[in-house]
Amino acid sequence: MLDTLHRIVKEVNAAPDLGKALATIVTLVKQAISCDVCSVYLTDADSRANVLAASDGLRQEAVGKVALPPGRGLVGLVAERAEPLNIGDAPSHPRYLRVTETGETHYRGFLGVPIIQNRKVLGVLVVRQEALREFTDDEVTFVFTLAAQLAGAITHAQASGELDTLTTRSRGARYLEGRPGSTGVSIGHGVVAYRMADLEAIPDRNTDDIAAECAAFRAAVSAVEDDLSKLKVRLSGEIPAEDHALFDALLLMLGGDTLVTETVDLIKQGQWAPGALRQSIDAHAQVFESMEDVYLRERASDVRDLGRRILMHLQSDSPQHIEYPTDTILVGEEVSAVQLAEVPSERLVGVVSATGSSSSHVAILARAMGVPAVMGVSDLPVGRMENRELIIDGYRGRVYIAPTPAVRIEYERLAEEERALTAEAEGLRGLPAESTDGVAFPLFLNTGLVNENNSVYSDDFAGIGLYRTELPFMVRDRFPAESVQVMNYRRVLEAFSPRPVILRTLDIGGDKPLPYFPVEEQNPFLGWRGVRISLAHPEIFLTQVRAMLRAAVDLDNLQIMLPMISGVTEVDELKMLIKRAHDELVEEGYAVSMPSIGVMIEVPSAVYMVEELARRVDFVSVGTNDLTQYLLAVDRNNSRVAELYDDLHPAVLRALDQVVRGAREFNRPVGVCGELAGNPLATILLMGLGVDSLSMSAGGVMKVKWVVRSFSVSRARQLVHAALRMEDPQQVRRFMESALEDMGLGGLFRPGR
């Protein structure tokens, strides 16, 4: 029966639309289990009626017309219970409903299986037998498996609007759900960003002319470098200088030794240029894809995009030109930052990607450009989005395809209100981030991409609260020399001087291996990473710390932060290494000074040891992303459990409360540098908990500042006192939404004012 199942699934997946898929499945299932009837009922989203959508064995004139009321009959019972129902004599069941229009009154054997997707019942798959028949366990599991396959096809059809033609009462607003990537709402027409060159399809092929292949490859790399440089110049003045560093990173990948050298080496071994490119790009992308850190894992898509662009130039000297309408919403399976940048900014109104998260380069760039974005829309029918009218809601992560007039009118109103709200928020630029009772809450920047021309929000950020030092290590084929690191850190420190800059020491290993320092583990989330590698390889740590100290000479705005701390012994040993690096440099004649040293609280054990840790360091910073994942045992990038990830969970808030109280015992300042810091719903809670500063991406500063300037600390304490007694994250969320609504700030977390 397994072969039959595979054959049916293959034919269903190959069907051009839902109607054909339903017709295929009812015919093949009827044949597979030798029954008299197979039917599919689809549950109408609005009325909850179960509409006969396809059948082999019932009257065809009833298809699309017969609708069973919700909860009525055996089909309604299956949908209500969301579990299979197997009955040998259906008419004897108390919930049996005679439906003469379908011609099924003389059928006795009944098996109904729910079609479920994301905990929602989409319909019921039914098989019937004229004689008495209770279907076997194998037959039940067979139909059950097919129903699970059908769920994906139905969801896909909902997205493209086909379902409205197969149900009788579907008139509500249809939308797909993804993850918010950049807040805002927009209305426009889809332009599909498709892969210009299929790198994965390139075969291995030998070459006899190695010199010509090398020359062609280098010319293609040069052409892509030229393309990216022009895009960077064109975007000058349209996005903050901070975000230009996205293109600096891509150019660095092209100009670095690893990518180009490895490809050339493969060509010299006899591989033709496209095949060599495919191998080296795949190797580099896999390094990023294996990482736990969301920010760095998303870089894999940038590596693959670079590979496709190089291949495009290898295959053709005249890349295809795309016409963009004035209201372009860029749609793709995996939209890249470069594809986004290619759209003229005056024509771009939104972005929708089937993959990715808020940490994707394209999401970061969309936020910098003030363009709404929805990421990770898993059921997105990308191929049918060209020139379709779309509405995207970047607050809720929704995409409306071919919206009804009522939905369009409502979102036009919300978009107008949002424009007014944004203009009002811009009026806060340059004003201090302090509460209504005069308490200052410095706002810092999270980054890993600052360049020498950085002037981002010069009056609005108090400094850098988290600088990720990993990227310069990732794009090379060896550990960067001390002198190279000095130049990198000096640029960052000078750009923000005299404001403080917190450099996080190297956070690699296990799930984040370097190309030249691989680490393979069964459970990288709990493995050899962060300071654990720093202690095992003090030479790496000492070189980095020496570079940091040298870079801060005459600036004195350096602070060093230690990641992934789980106990006091790690801090004691790392502080001794930092002191050793300082003393060595003094002996060598450098006028270095000891910086402030802090720890990241992102491991549950650190929460319970916070007093002992605070006694040893100068400041504490909470990384809420990892802390939430470890506290709740949830990988937020796993779609099966992502909905369980909630940094407003009472457990997270209580952990934060414990951290602040413990640090206060030694008068140590506490900052928050996770995504929670940039969430307006959490701002009041963090103020009330006694957090001293917040560090976030550039796109969140104005909204957070608005909240800070709208509440007093005493009011914030009242709210957090109530929130800490709550037992459910949704209760906390609704409570905070109500608090912002009461202050007229509802537009900071939802569309409109």
Torsion on CA atoms 648, 650, 652, 657, rounded to nearest 10:
110
Residue 189 contacts residue 328 (beta carbons within 8 Å): yes
- Tell me which of 38, 244, 284, 673 is the catalytic residue: 673
What does the alpha-carbon distance between residue 135 and residue 585 come to, in Å, rounded to a whole number? 80
d(CA 470, CA 26): 54
Q: Outline where DSSP puts E strands in 526-666.
A: 558-562, 596-601, 619-622
Amino acid (one-letter) located at 381 = P
Query: Is 38 an active-site residue?
Result: no
CA distance 626 to 603: 7
Question: What 8-state DSSP symbol labels residue 319?
Answer: P
DSSP 320-362: PP----TTEEEEESS--HHHHHHS-TTTEEEEEESS--TTSHH
Q: How far apart are CA 205 and CA 268, in angstroms?
A: 13
721 is catalytic: no
d(CA 161, CA 700): 35
Residue ranges with strand state E in 505-618: 558-562, 596-601
CA atoms of 522 and 283, how far apart (whole Å): 20
CB 191 within 8 A of CB 386: yes
Q: Please classify residue 535 by burial: count the beta carbons closer than 10 Å to its beta carbon, then call 0-12 exposed, 13-18 middle and 19+ buried.
A: middle
Asked if 654 and 634 count as a contact pair (C-beta separation under 8 A), the reply is no
| H/E segment holding residue 703 | helix 701-708
Among the listed residues 244, 361, 582, 649, the single catalytic one is: 361
- Catalytically active residues, by annotation: 361, 673
